[in-house]
Chain A
Amino acid sequence: MKRFRPDVDAPEYHGPYAPYDIIKEGTIAFLVVAILVVALATLFGSPDEQAVTIRTWSNADPIDFATTALGELNGTTITAHYGAPYNHGSLGQELGPLHLANLVGVTIPVNPIQDFIIAPLSSVPNDHPLRVALAQWHAAPRAERATWVARYTRAAAHMTWSNGHIVVPATRTGPLGVMINSLTQMARSGALDQALVTGHGFYTTDYTKPLLFVADGTYFANLAKHQHLLGAQWGMMNETDSYPGQAWLWLYTFWYQVPPFSSSPNADVQVWAIMMLASLLLLLVPFIPGLRSIPRKVRVYRVIWREHYRSL
């Protein structure tokens, strides 16, 4: 006869049986949860944070918006350096010798200068000064554009918002003053939000570009910090305001708080790899000697079925 192997073989059951109505239990569970949901929603409500758009951002902080737009022209923003799947700005995060995002390639091409600045401005109708400015930009050689941007950037530290206009004390910056001001006006009217989501087929639900643009500024990050939602604040498991959040994501966000991940430029891919490994271990528990014996050795099952074990 084959030897009985604990954790692998199931012993034959010789105890008593009892009828059990699983439909009844399911119905009771559903009703209890439904009553709890209605009662808790009545007591506490639910999060209803207004979406942050380019319009709200540029009205709340036009200087941050204009500075970010300038950063797009400079190629210094997060989007400009992101790499795959948006562009070739960098190789992306690395896991050992692997650049995982780069392996997939640029599947959602985003050119910040063209997509965030030039294309939206080109869609503005009946604006002669802007049309002249764009023509000057297109006609200029790359080196001259870079000189304009560099001069504008040097003076941008003294940028002010005055009488509904961005004012930068800089000269010989070509069309940049008109372009940045027009883009800011466009943003404040809400037209830039619209310009960045249209042009992707019949349904305009692709918010990739406005989201990337908003994330390049400091306004959105400051809002997130205020609401305790940054990665370094265990933000993944938090909700806005005083609502409870996704507490079950504690292990995922835990890794971001401890070295070496807390200071690693590759933390996202490293934490992802650890969690995939942990998930694999969980999935394979029945096949891993030692790990699969834990429930048997901890003997919690004897607490649950204590009456049965007492009668043995």
Chain B
Amino acid sequence: MAGLALLAALFPLDHLGGYIHWGWVDISYANAIVVALMVIVFVAALLAPFPGHGRRKESR
């Protein structure tokens, strides 16, 4: 059991979560965070420079 306890989550989420109510929109905080992270990753993918771009040698 002690070994299993080591495998337990550090911040367990097995308790009821909160929800954002806005008109007929009803979204859990967890989903809202994931959506926000996806938007951030999308914007970063658009704006971040390609890795190693400056080192690439162009060739034809």
Residues of chain A whose beta carbon lies under 8 Å from any beta carbon of chain B: 16-19, 41-45, 47-48, 226-228, 233-234, 237-239, 241-245, 247, 257-258, 300, 303-304, 307
Contacts and interface: CB of A to CB of B under 8 A. Distances in A.
Given A18-B59, A238-B28, A300-B46, A43 B14 contact: no
A301 to B, nearest CB: 10
Contacts of A16: 58-60
B46 A304 contact: yes
A44 B60 contact: no
Interface string B38-58: 100000001100000100111
A17 B9 contact: no
Interface size grouping (class) on chain B: 20 to 34
28 contacts: A17-B58, A18-B58, A19-B56, A42-B9, A43-B9, A43-B10, A43-B11, A44-B13, A45-B9, A45-B13, A45-B14, A228-B28, A234-B27, A237-B27, A241-B14, A241-B16, A242-B13, A242-B15, A242-B28, A243-B13, A244-B28, A244-B33, A245-B28, A245-B30, A247-B35, A258-B24, A300-B46, A307-B53
Nearest to A14: B60
A241 B58 contact: no
B8 A242 contact: no
A47 B12 CA distance: 9
B16 A242 contact: yes
B17 interface: yes
Given A17-B58, A18-B56, A18-B59, 17 more contacts: A16-B58, A18-B57, A41-B9, A42-B9, A43-B9, A43-B11, A45-B8, A45-B9, A47-B14, A228-B19, A237-B31, A239-B28, A242-B15, A244-B33, A247-B31, A247-B38, A304-B46
Interface of B: 8-17, 19, 24-31, 33-35, 38, 46-47, 53, 56-60
Nearest to B14: A241
Contacts of A42: 9-10
A203 B14 CA distance: 33
A19 B13 contact: no
B34 to A, nearest CB: 4
A221 B30 CA distance: 23
A19 to B, nearest CB: 7
Contacts of A233: 26
Nearest to B9: A45
Contact of A247 (B17, B34, B47): B34
Contacts of A257: 24-26
Nearest to B53: A307
Which 5 pairs show the lowest CB-CB distances between chains A and B? A45-B9, A242-B17, A244-B30, A16-B58, A242-B13
Contacts of B13: 44-45, 47, 241-243
A9 B33 CA distance: 41
B16 to A, nearest CB: 6
